Structure 1
Amino acid sequence: MTEHDALIFLVALATLLGMARLLGEVARAFGMPLVVGELIAGVLLGPTVLGRALPDVFQWLFRQSTPQKMLGAYTTVGVVLLLVVAGLEVDLGIVRRRGRSAAFTSLLGMILPLAGGILLGFMLPDSDMKNPNQRLLFALFIGVALSISALPVIAKTLLDLGLFKTDLGLLVMSAAMIDDSVGWVAFSMLVGPMQGNSVEFHKLLTMGGLSLVFVAGTLTAGRRGIDRLLTRFADELHGGRVLSLVILLALIGAAITQALGIHAVLGGFVVGVAIGDSPSLREQTRATIHEFVTNVFAPVFFASLGLKVDFIHAFDFRLCALVFAVASVAKVLGCSVGARAGGLGWRESIAVGFGLNARGAMEIILALLALEAGLLKEQLFVALVVMALCTSLLGGPAMKRLLYRAQEEDVVALLRRGGFVARLNATTSRGAIEELVQILEPRLGHLAAHARNQVLEREQMAPTGLGDEVAVPHAAIEGLEEPMLALGLSSDGIDFDAPDGKPATIVFLLLLAPRRLDEEVRVLASIARSVIDPRAREQLMEARETEQVLKVLAESAQRIAEERRARGPALADI
């Protein structure tokens, strides 16, 4: 590497990162995912636009051998870390507790797209393939690609809709976790054969065995070792130290799977799952890791996709429409039927199907790796990218329309029938839950002890700190006929493990009737809207009587409703 090579690499990297971050923020301002703006940045800087307008500049920046390889190494690290972030979203405890519903939803949500993708792979003409001799491998890849979901996109959609902490949100996340885990293992088994002209089943079996050994070892002994490490140094691992530890472990895991002949992304993903499953890893730390990767590595990676393909020349409407239709119909139908078999109503089941239909960044990563392995033509790569973006943009509005069709439960009316504690004595989340359940005990009667245990168990499974010093511990209580709500205020704050790390000063306790997921969504939405205004939170902390609290919540809800009517419908509301 010469000094000139280093100069070109630095200029190219700065150009990609700067343009991707700028257009990513523009996309977010219009209510779209960051990845949309980042991909557009790559299209503008790649052969599609810059290569046509200023070909000499494009060649100087992105087509010189050594700087191009250096940029490729940077994006390789980026894709491994992106899979670590996806792995951190996986909570094995949630998957285990969702049990039957998650299993049905995930199983059918993988089988139908897998079958549809394999069928599509065999039906496409030879002209759509890079190498017609790889027909079986090509069909298997299309099946795996269409069956996978995008955990980060799904998590963001659920957060934006206020569904992340709900039972329906946990079901969607559990099914997505299973989909991603199985999908990445299956894809890693196909990477080796992608380099040849045929599928050798004994090699596939060997890859499968090595994959299972690595996954099982990392998620058992490896997970316990990581947890002990984080626990032992919990007080010392702050900021950059914990970030360094996570990246170090991820690179080691990626190197191991690469050495085994399995793709490095599997190592990053599985190590991310093992780290994320540690109770010692706090939500604030997860958020820090996520921010670092998505602001430093992800923009360059997604922008670099635009450098590889001329999107105008490679755009094939027939392929784009066909891939989108097969992927969406199979995924939504499979997940909806699975969720219905797991006990949900049809409307909620279809909402689950649309939520899991989002492919996002994970699909794009798969497509890029297959393109680099020589399995895909540029036209099919573009079709997979278009499908990933369209399914991600469709999920939020579809879920919103299906789940928020009914009038939201009035938080003021619920609290009027419930209880209010002006100053909680508790200093822990457990103590706050017990104190608030006690306030509702006259109405709960013999259900009080059961309600307390259910809320505590659910809080342990999925902490309910929302951020902005608000927490909503809640659970479905067998035997309860209608929702109950209690509110407690804490001047010192109570740790509910919120993503922003702030202790909760405003704690709502919500008890719900079982198997009414739509009611849970509406009540939580009403609570969230009543305290979204910082002024309302400040006024609540000054309240001493129930009537003062009710007045603050009613006025806040009215202000928010007027603001929404004034600005009209927008993508940012999704």
Structure 2
Amino acid sequence: MTSHQTTFLLFELSVIVLLARLLGCAARRLGQPPVIGEVLAGILLGPTLFHGEIANTVFPLDTRPLLTAAADMGVAVFMFLIGLELDHQLTRAVGRMAATVALASILVPFALGIAVAFVVASNHPVGHRTGFILFLGTAMAITAFPVLARILADRGMSRTRLGGLALTAAAIGDLVAWMLLAVVLTVAANGTDQWRILLIVPFLALMRWGVRPLLRRLVADDRLSSALPAVAVAGLLASGALTEWIGLHFIFGAFLFGVVMPRTDAEHVRTKLVSRLSELNTVLFLPVFFVIAGFNVDLSSLSLPGLAELGLILLVAVGGKFGAVFAVARLHGLPARDASVLGTLMNTRGLTELIILGVGLSYGMLDQRLYILMVAMAVLTTMMTGPLISVIGRERTSQPTLSR
């Protein structure tokens, strides 16, 4: 790395961190999760304003690969933390209702997304038609578990029965969505090394019956537990590298390493690990990801046909998920108001959606125009969650949930 690149990289990082923090605080003051402000920071630094002059001046082309590497690091840590924070006990406690809500919130938008893919396919040439159709269905079905958790915490709903149900359903839905994405990437795999995808089975077995017992021993031994942060970082990076080499995306390896981290008798260790990793990741690496994502979003290029497609995408994404969740919740005896709140919460997409859209763009399953429309859908569906909950009201959502 040259002195010129070092100078610009450090300057770029300072600009990204400050702008993301300012817009994140502004979003919070407006009742929105900070991630909305950070996403808008990335879009504003991209080609949307002044025909890309800001991006070309502040972020020269020779430093963008370095920013991309930092963004990938942030995504890997983020996916590890998602896997780490999945609460297995809470999932088992809420039970069948959460499972059916989660499956409905995935399968119905997935099917409707496939239908939309057939409608818009002729307007968006992509390399793999089958992969495009399946990917669009998957992208429609996403619920952002971490953003949903932040919204519930900000509104004091985390420990209510409805909040616990929403979190558990979102966690189950995330697992199903990641599995769907893995299938899509497998279907759309190209090249001469497709045989590597078969290694995913022994890899999963190694993680479950090899890595997980070793991590339990590490946590149980007081003399070695201090090394856990270093082991966690090295493990998530190595696991991500293996899944990338196998032919899946590195996000799957990082996520899986978080899932196999021990939970029994390790709550204090997990809390410390989350606090150490998430702070730096939230302040530095994830804002870089938003900027890299913003380089591919030019909202000034939206045309009337593009807005019509955006309307169709929003109708299917919001209506499909809300309708499915509302119907299943009512079948389980939930009051109409609580079912409406639950359907609204499950429409939160946020950062998880942006990560999946980035994967689709990099694998050639989305073109530039459709990527812009899907990013707009992710931002709008996240922004509407808080105001809609306030309108619907939550007088009936105060029942305490089961203790974790």
Using the size of structure 2 for normalisation, the TM-score is: 0.88
Match for residue 255 of structure 1 among 226, 241, 259:
241
1:63 Cα deviation after fit: 3.9
Q: Do the aligned partners of residues 248 and 390 (structure 1) sit closer, same or farther apart at CA in structure 2, a change above 3 Å counting?
A: same
Amino acid corresponding to residue 356 of structure 2 in structure 1: L
Distance 2:148 2:397 in 1: 25
In structure 2, the partner of 1:180 is: 174
Distance 1:281 1:268 in 2: 20
Q: Do the aligned partners of residues 26 and 347 (structure 1) sit closer, same or farther apart at CA in structure 2, a change above 3 Å counting?
A: closer
In structure 2, the partner of 1:120 is: 116
1:11 Cα deviation after fit: 2.3
1:313 Cα deviation after fit: 1.1
Amino acid corresponding to residue 3 of structure 2 in structure 1: E
Q: State whether residues 89 and 151 of structure 1, in contact with CA within 8 Å, keep that contact through their aligned partners in structure 2.
A: no
Deviations 1:407-462 (A, max 9, x none): 989xxxxxxxxxxxxxxxxxxxxxxxxxxxxxxxxxxxxxxxxxxxx99xx44xx1
In structure 2, the partner of 1:87 is: 83
1:314 Cα deviation after fit: 4.2
Distance 1:256 1:278 in 2: 27
Distance 1:155 1:234 in 2: 34
Amino acid corresponding to residue 377 of structure 1 in structure 2: D
> Which protein is richer in strand relative to its size?
1
Q: Do the aligned partners of residues 219 and 134 (structure 1) sit closer, same or farther apart at CA in structure 2, a change above 3 Å counting?
A: same
Q: State whether residues 90 and 277 of structure 1, in contact with CA within 8 Å, keep that contact through their aligned partners in structure 2.
A: no
> Relative contact order, CA 8 A, sep 6+: which one is greater?
2
Deviations 1:86-109 (A, max 9, x none): 222311222222221112111111
1:80 Cα deviation after fit: 0.9
1:318 Cα deviation after fit: 1.4
Q: Do the aligned partners of residues 269 and 342 (structure 1) sit closer, same or farther apart at CA in structure 2, a change above 3 Å counting?
A: farther
Distance 2:55 2:139 in 1: 31
* DSSP 3-state at the match of 1:124: helix
Instruction: Give the 5 Å matches for 1:21-32.
Output: 21-32=21-32
Q: State whether residues 332 and 354 of structure 1, in contact with CA within 8 Å, keep that contact through their aligned partners in structure 2.
A: yes
Distance 2:203 2:171 in 1: 18
Q: State whether residues 223 and 274 of structure 1, in contact with CA within 8 Å, keep that contact through their aligned partners in structure 2.
A: yes
Distance 2:99 2:280 in 1: 33
Amino acid corresponding to residue 43 of structure 1 in structure 2: I
1:290 Cα deviation after fit: 2.6
Instruction: Give the 5 Å matches for 1:266-285.
Output: 266-275=252-261, 277-282=263-268, 284-285=271-272
In structure 1, the partner of 2:135 is: 141
Deviations 1:450-479 (A, max 9, x none): xxxx99xx44xx1xxxxxxxxxxxxxxxxx
Q: Do the aligned partners of residues 118 and 279 (structure 1) sit closer, same or farther apart at CA in structure 2, a change above 3 Å counting?
A: farther
Q: State whether residues 46 and 297 of structure 2, in contact with CA within 8 Å, keep that contact through their aligned partners in structure 1.
A: yes
* DSSP 3-state at the match of 1:163: coil
In structure 2, the partner of 1:430 is: none
Q: Do the aligned partners of residues 171 and 17 (structure 1) sit closer, same or farther apart at CA in structure 2, a change above 3 Å counting?
A: same
In structure 2, the partner of 1:41 is: 41
In structure 2, the partner of 1:295 is: 283
Distance 1:334 1:289 in 2: 36
In structure 2, the partner of 1:388 is: 378
1:326 Cα deviation after fit: 0.3
Distance 2:376 2:202 in 1: 35
How many residues are matched? 400
In structure 2, the partner of 1:347 is: 337
Using the size of structure 1 for normalisation, the TM-score is: 0.64
Q: Do the aligned partners of residues 35 and 259 (structure 1) sit closer, same or farther apart at CA in structure 2, a change above 3 Å counting?
A: same
Distance 1:408 1:149 in 2: 23
In structure 1, the partner of 2:314 is: 324
Amino acid corresponding to residue 129 of structure 2 in structure 1: R
Amino acid corresponding to residue 176 of structure 2 in structure 1: V
Unaligned runs of 5+ in 1: 410-453, 463-574
Deviations 1:22-46 (A, max 9, x none): 2222222222222222222222222
User: Identity across aligned pairs (percent)?
Assistant: 29
1:141 Cα deviation after fit: 0.2
In structure 2, the partner of 1:111 is: 107
Match for residue 227 of structure 1 among 191, 216, 219:
216
Deviations 1:353-383 (A, max 9, x none): 2111111110111111211222212221122
Q: Do the aligned partners of residues 253 and 26 (structure 1) sit closer, same or farther apart at CA in structure 2, a change above 3 Å counting?
A: same
Q: Do the aligned partners of residues 148 and 210 (structure 1) sit closer, same or farther apart at CA in structure 2, a change above 3 Å counting?
A: farther
1:232 Cα deviation after fit: 1.7
1:138 Cα deviation after fit: 0.8
In structure 2, the partner of 1:413 is: none
Q: State whether residues 33 and 151 of structure 2, in contact with CA within 8 Å, keep that contact through their aligned partners in structure 1.
A: no
Q: State whether residues 62 and 68 of structure 1, in contact with CA within 8 Å, keep that contact through their aligned partners in structure 2.
A: yes
Amino acid corresponding to residue 287 of structure 2 in structure 1: P
> Which protein is richer in helix relative to its size?
2
Instruction: Give the 5 Å matches for 1:154-193.
Output: 154-191=148-185
Q: Do the aligned partners of residues 156 and 257 (structure 1) sit closer, same or farther apart at CA in structure 2, a change above 3 Å counting?
A: same
